Amino acid sequence: MTNAPTVFILMGTYNGEAFLADQLLSIENQSHTNWRLIISDDGSTDATLAIAKSFQDKWGSDRLEIREGPQQGFCTNFLSLACDPTIQADFYAFSDQDDVWMVDKLARALAYFDTVNNADLPRVYGSRTQLVDQHLTPCGYSPLFTLPRSFRNALVQSIAGGNTIVFNQPAKMVLEKTGLRQVVSHDWWLYLLIKGVGGVVFYDPQPSLLYRQHNGALVGHNCSFKAKLDRIIYVLNGRFKAWNTLNCQALLAVHHVLTIDNQVILESFNRLRGGHFKDRVRLLEVCGLYRQTWQGTCSLWLATLLNKI
C-alpha cells in the first residue's frame, strides 16, 4: 500500500491506562495500513505513557510519536495537534484513548473521500457508533442523524463524535488558519468551521467503532432517557447557553473565513441570544436553527423561550 494515502491519527490521552492498549491494538489491525499515530499526553499520572512507549518500541518512533500536551483540557489537546502546521498528511483522524476501532474504520472513511469530485473542498467524515460497556458488551447505538448537515444545525448541535472523524488537508488548513480557540469541543468546532466556510460534512449511518461507556468517559452517548433529561437540565442550568457563548465568541473572532450567508446567520444568532422575548422568537425563525431530532428541537425552543440560548 505504498501509494495509499497517508493518514495521521491524532490521539489525546490522559490517565487512560485501563483501555489504551485495546485501542492501540485496534489501530494496529486497521486494514488501511498507511497511517502514523501522534499521541499528545496531557499529564497522565498512571501507566498511560508506559503503555504508549511500549507500542512505540514495538512499532518504531517513525510510526508512533509521543508528545507532551498543553494540559489545558481535552479540547485544546486535540486542537493543538490539528492546528499544528508541522503535521502534514493526506488525511487526519481523531482518536480517543478508550474506544476500539472496527478493522475497516479508516478504509471506509477513505472510500468516501474517493467518491468526491472536488478534492480541494474542506471535507469531514463522521459516523454513528456502536455503544459498548467497559467489557465491550454491546448496549446500543448512538443516534441516527438523517437531517441535512448545515451551519444552521451546527450552531446548536454537534453530531459526529470526534472519535469517528476523519478530515482532509483542506479542512486542516481551515483549522490552521483559525488557530487555537476556546471552544466547547474539537469535534463541534470542526463541524462549525467546515460548514461555516462552505465545506462538506458527511455522516455515515454505519458504526465505525466500539464506543465505550464507562465512568471515566468524557462524553457519553446521547440517546438514553438520562441523556435526554440531561439536555433539559443543561438548558435550565445555563450550561447550553455557556456552550453557545464560547462557540459564538470563537466564531465571531474568525467570521471573515465564513461564507457571506453564514456570516449573516452568525450575526443574527448573536443578536438573538441577547434580545428580548419577541426578538428571540423572531430571530430563531429567521436563522432557521434546528437540531437533528424533534426532541432536540423542542429543547432548542425551550432554551429560546427561557433566554437560555
Sheet holding 209-212, edge to edge: 100-101, 209-212, 130-132, 138-141
pLDDT tens digits for range 210-268: 999 976 554 544 545 556 566 678 777 889 999 999 999 999 999 999 999 999 999 99
User: What confidence score (pLDDT) does residue 275 get?
Assistant: 87
Q: Which of 18-32, 46-60, 271-285, 290-304 has the lowest mean pLDDT?
A: 271-285
Mean per-residue pLDDT, 105-129: 96
Mean per-residue pLDDT, 68-82: 97
CA–CA gap between residue 113 and residue 199 (Å, rounded): 13
Is 80 exceeded by the pLDDT of residue 155?
yes
Q: Where does residue 36 rank: exposed (0-12), middle (13-18), buried (19+ CB within 10 A)?
A: middle
Count how many residues are written for the chain.
Answer: 309
Show me where the domains of the chain are located: 7-212, 225-305
Mean per-residue pLDDT, 105-110: 98
pLDDT tens digits for range 19-57: 999 999 999 999 999 999 999 999 999 999 999 999 999
CA–CA gap between residue 6 and residue 33 (Å, rounded): 9
Do 110 and 157 form a contact (C-beta atoms < 8 A)?
no
Percent of the chain with pLDDT over 70: 94
Q: Where does residue 177 rank: exposed (0-12), middle (13-18), buried (19+ CB within 10 A)?
A: middle
Mean per-residue pLDDT, 104-125: 96
Is 80 exceeded by the pLDDT of residue 152?
yes
User: What confidence score (pLDDT) does residue 226 get?
Assistant: 58
Name the CATH superfamily for 7-212: Spore Coat Polysaccharide Biosynthesis Protein SpsA; Chain A (3.90.550.10)
User: What confidence score (pLDDT) does residue 73 get?
Assistant: 96
pTM for the structure as a whole: 0.93
User: What confidence score (pLDDT) does residue 229 get?
Assistant: 66
Q: Name residue, grid cell 482532509.
A: 168
pLDDT tens digits for range 176-212: 999 999 999 999 999 999 999 999 999 999 999 999 9
Mean per-residue pLDDT, 289-303: 91
User: What confidence score (pLDDT) does residue 236 get?
Assistant: 79
Q: Which of 7-16, 131-140, 221-230 has the lowest mean pLDDT?
A: 221-230
Percent of the chain with pLDDT over 90: 80
How would residue 285 be classed by pLDDT, with cut points 50, 70 and 90?
confident
Q: What is the mean pLDDT of the chain?
A: 93
How would residue 3 be classed by pLDDT, with cut points 50, 70 and 90?
confident
Is 70 exceeded by the pLDDT of residue 79?
yes
CA–CA gap between residue 277 and residue 286 (Å, rounded): 14
